[in-house]
């Protein structure tokens, strides 16, 4: 029969083992991202970024961004710029809107396209005046770290599979796609406020 000291020692070992194991992972709403795949975000808050760095060459991560420099009505993912600016977005849980922190009263809105049987993408996102529209409403699920469209919750906000050069940075398409068809690392988000 083990004595109290041996039991305490085993319990301490288990706690230390668990703590060591978790220290190499980021717990983002129960999504584990290995430490070497996490971005090193330098962008000032607020910012919404993919929890996985994917292939961003400088480990800056991918943030929601306006296409081109400055104000644009189209959104994509872009390397999270250390100086901030058009990559700064916030999530308003009360209204369900993804809002630009740089441009007043502008929100992400679904720009739908015809869905074919060979394409699991419902559409892209554009940046328009904030209004009470179902096309601007998203639900952020903290447990899965996913943004789902309100009213049609089987669609998620996600990154496309391919990246491209964007000057000294990198970019990807930002899409609304069928959640079950998108790998977890392309649809898991972190909100930094």
Instruction: Tell whether 11 is covered by a domain.
Output: no
Q: Which residue has the tokens 């319990």?
A: 11
Q: What number is the average pLDDT over the span 103-128?
A: 80
CB contact at 8 A, 73 and 126 = yes
Q: Model confidence over 13-45: pLDDT tens digits?
A: 333 323 333 332 333 433 567 888 899 999 999
Give the predicted TM-score (pTM) of the model. 0.80
User: Number of folded domains in the chain?
Assistant: 1
Instruction: Tell whether 9 is covered by a domain.
Output: no
pLDDT the model gives residue 82: 95
Instruction: Tell whether 28 is covered by a domain.
Output: no
| CATH code, domain carrying 170 | 2.80.10.50
Q: Whole-angstrom Cα distance, residue 99 to residue 90?
A: 5
Check pLDDT > 60 for residue 67: yes
Specify the range with the lowest mean pLDDT, choosing from 68-72, 113-117, 142-146, 166-170. 113-117
Q: Whole-angstrom Cα distance, residue 83 to residue 88?
A: 10
Q: Which residue has the tokens 């609304």?
A: 176
Beta strands in 93-153 (DSSP E): 97-100, 106-112, 121-129, 138-141, 146-149
Tell me which residue range forms the domain holding 173: 36-192
């Amino acid at each position: 029969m083990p004595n109290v000291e041996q039991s305490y020692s085993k319990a301490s070992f288990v706690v230390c083992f668990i703590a060591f194991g978790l220290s190499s992972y980021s717990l983002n709403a129960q999504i584990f991202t290995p430490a070497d795949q996490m971005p090193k975000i330098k962008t000032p808050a607020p910012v919404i970024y993919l929890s996985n760095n994917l292939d961003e060459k400088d480990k800056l991560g991918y943030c929601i961004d306006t296409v081109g420099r400055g104000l644009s009505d189209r959104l994509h993912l872009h390397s999270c710029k250390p100086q901030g600016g058009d990559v700064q977005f916030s999530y308003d849980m009360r209204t369900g809107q993804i809002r630009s922190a740089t441009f007043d009263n502008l929100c992400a809105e679904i720009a739908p396209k015809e869905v074919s049987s060979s394409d699991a993408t419902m559409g892209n996102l554009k940046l328009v005046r904030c209004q009470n529209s179902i096309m601007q409403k998203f639900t952020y699920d903290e447990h899965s770290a996913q943004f789902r469209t309100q009213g049609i919750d089987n669609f998620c906000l996600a990154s496309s599979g391919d990246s491209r050069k964007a000057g000294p940075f990198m970019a990807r398409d930002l899409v609304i796609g069928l959640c079950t068809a998108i790998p977890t690392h392309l649809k898991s988000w972190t909100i930094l406020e």
